[in-house]
Structure 1
Amino acid sequence: MLHDIGLCRTAALGTHLERCDHCNYETVAYDSCRNRHCPRCQSSARDRWLVKQASSLLPVPYAHVVFTVPEQLAPLALRNQRRFYSLLFRAVSETLLQIAADPRHLGARIGVLAVLHTWSQNLRHHPHLHCLVPAGGLAFNNSRWIATRRHGFFLPVRVLSRMFRGKLLAFLKQSYRRSELCFPGKLAELSTPGAFHSLLGALRRREWVVYSKPPFGGPEHVLKYLARYTHRVAISNGRLLGIENGQVRFRWRDSRHNNRSSVMKLDAVEFIRRFLLHVLPAGFVKIRHFGLLANRNRRQALALCRLHLRAIVADPSTLLTEQQKSALSRSCPQCRCGTLHVVARCSVLDPPSPSLVFHCAAFDSS
């Protein structure tokens, strides 16, 4: 993975020739690694995903809810990523759907888009889920759309926090009984029933952090949030300032001091170690949909929601920024009218010579 990211958009991965279909302008670009943990490759993947998701947006306010795992569980999560993060998704989704279904709170079926993040601004391991939820839902008899009862309020944070705590601890206890968790290295002391259940008991007596922002605007605001949270990796290229004398400098926001922006220096090896903490298991899905937005019933549920809201499907072209539109359309930088198309592929021959001999394979025009 690091090898791919290190060679991304360099001659080592080859190049391709792009030509404008209007003015015949040509440019040569390096190929990308397309690794989902690569900061360079995620912007285009994000924009394509945003266009696809635009059809699922509703013209209603959206709530942004963040569920954070206590730091005492972070080492267990890191050594059991696939199992722990799956339980985290399950605990969060069941919490939101169950509390929203309660007539005392909303009394409706809601939809949830959940995104896993595992990092803090200083790249330490900090598992949490960002959830974007329409501030309302369908009545259980599908007769109407039910909006939140109070402006600027979605669901009670304390109720969310305590149910989330109970569910995740219960799921972990069940996984322990089934021997689905491993305890390597320093975690070995938790492998005994007494130590493990003592940890869960201590965490049950603590308040867990669940943060809910007041519901914000419609589809255009939602897309901005999606762009910010869905395809991010541990650190973006824009935060990297440089490397000198074996130390990496990058910008970060200190949440303990009112999000004050400052510069952090880390030894290059430590920087790489922290980055690797956030590499997910192969094939693990970090963006998931639940409730009305679940894949099995999304189309029918959204059609019914729009019927009650008297809304139409959002046009992606009206929701994306000009920069996103340009990136997706591959518009020509010279004439601004045509579109760039790949007309030839070039790959570096092994072993590479000092002059970098290229082998080009032109695409069949048919």
Structure 2
Amino acid sequence: MRASIEVADIFRAAGAAYRRAHAGHLSLPQLKVMSAVENCRTAALGGHVEACEDCGRWQIAYNSCRNRHCPKCQGAAARTWLAEREADLLPAGYFHVVFTLPAEVADIAFQNKALVYDLLFKAASETMLTIAADRKHLGARIGITAVLHTWGSAMTHHPHVHVIVPGGGITPDGSRWISSRPAFLLPVRVLGKLFRRLFLAKLVALHEAGRLGFFGTFAHLAERRAFLRHLLPVRKKR
């Protein structure tokens, strides 16, 4: 049976080449994560010897990196997090909503990860809360759980947020629960239109404040007109 491939195997095989190809926009924390995952449970981190006093058999157990991004070290933590989220579930149906950044913005996000991912969360949550509170739609205060994914199924950069939403919410005065229709929560086109407007407004504000960085083939986007021109296709999407 073929052994499974781990993230650490990929980092060890291609990490050095990746770091060279993307030098300039990989942050120090990101480089530290790669190093930790590559060295996890190897001689590089040291270890200890486990021995049986009866048979004399012994083996070396290498130390783990304990980095919060390491999939091998954080498996138990992930299971605990999932159990805690399951405990939060309400006795209601749930909806799954996904907010995705288009390719034009994903390119910007790749060079400004912390800022743009934060915008993605803020714009997605504001969109859900605003439309749900509108009396033309649900007219209720809802709760959401949002999780960021930065890779797509093809293992390429594809930032998007998965939002899990209960099928209903509390009235503005907190007196009762309002249920959504069984198979319908909020209109997708209305959500998409508001999300696009909110996200682009916040992104342009970051650019005007000089907080975005651009490197390599995207260096020209530092100029305001070029940046706005780059976003035109996104504004026209429906």
* Bin for the TM-score computed over the shorter chain: 0.7 to 0.9
Corresponding position of 2:195: 164
For 1:150-209, what per-residue CA distance to the aligned partner results, in whole angstroms no more than 9, with x for missing partners? 2111111111111111111110111111111112221111121211111223211012xx
Corresponding position of 1:154: 185
Q: Tell me which amino acid in the other structure corresponds to 2:101.
A: V
Alpha-carbon contact 2:129-2:141 (below 8 Å) kept: yes
For 1:312-351, what per-residue CA distance to the aligned partner results, in whole angstroms no more than 9, with x for missing partners? xxxxxxxxxxxxxxxxxxxxxxxxxxxxxxxxxxxxxxxx
Residues of 2 paired with 1:16 and 1:62: CA distance?
49
Residues of 2 paired with 1:199 and 1:133: CA distance?
33
2:47 matched to 1:14? yes
Alpha-carbon contact 2:47-2:60 (below 8 Å) kept: no
Shift of 1:51: 3.2
Alignment of 1:62-211 (within 5 A): 62-148=94-180, 150-207=181-238
Larger relative contact order (CA 8 Å, sep ≥ 6): 1
Q: Tell me which amino acid in the other structure corresponds to 1:163.
A: L
TM-score, normalised relative to structure 1? 0.51
Shift of 1:58: 1.0
Alpha-carbon contact 2:119-2:202 (below 8 Å) kept: yes
Q: Which moved more, 1:40-49 or 1:170-179?
A: 40-49
Alpha-carbon contact 2:104-2:231 (below 8 Å) kept: no
Q: Tell me which amino acid in the other structure corresponds to 1:106.
A: L
Corresponding position of 1:328: none
Which secondary structure state, in structure 2, belongs to the residue aligned with residue 130 of structure 1?
A: strand
Corresponding position of 2:93: 61
- Tell me which protein shows more helix as a share of its residues: 2
Shift of 1:15: 4.5
- Tell me which protein shows more strand as a share of its residues: 1
Alignment of 1:260-339 (within 5 A): none
Residues of 2 paired with 1:154 and 1:76: CA distance?
31
The sequence identity of aligned pairs, in percent, is 48
Q: Tell me which amino acid in the other structure corresponds to 2:139.
A: G
Flag as ranges the 4+ runs of structure 1 deviating above 4 A: 27-30
Alpha-carbon contact 1:139-1:146 (below 8 Å) kept: yes
Alpha-carbon contact 2:151-2:158 (below 8 Å) kept: yes
Shift of 1:59: 1.4
TM-score, normalised relative to structure 2? 0.76
RMSD (Å), alpha carbons: 2.0
The count of aligned residue pairs is 197
For 1:43-75, what per-residue CA distance to the aligned partner results, in whole angstroms no more than 9, with x for missing partners? 211112123334422111111111110001112
For 1:188-247, what per-residue CA distance to the aligned partner results, in whole angstroms no more than 9, with x for missing partners? 11121211111223211012xxxxxxxxxxxxxxxxxxxxxxxxxxxxxxxxxxxxxxxx
Gap regions ≥5 residues in structure 1 = 18-26, 208-366
Alpha-carbon contact 1:16-1:31 (below 8 Å) kept: no
Structure 1 residues 49, 29: closer, same or farther in 2, change over 3 A?
A: farther
Alpha-carbon contact 1:14-1:31 (below 8 Å) kept: yes
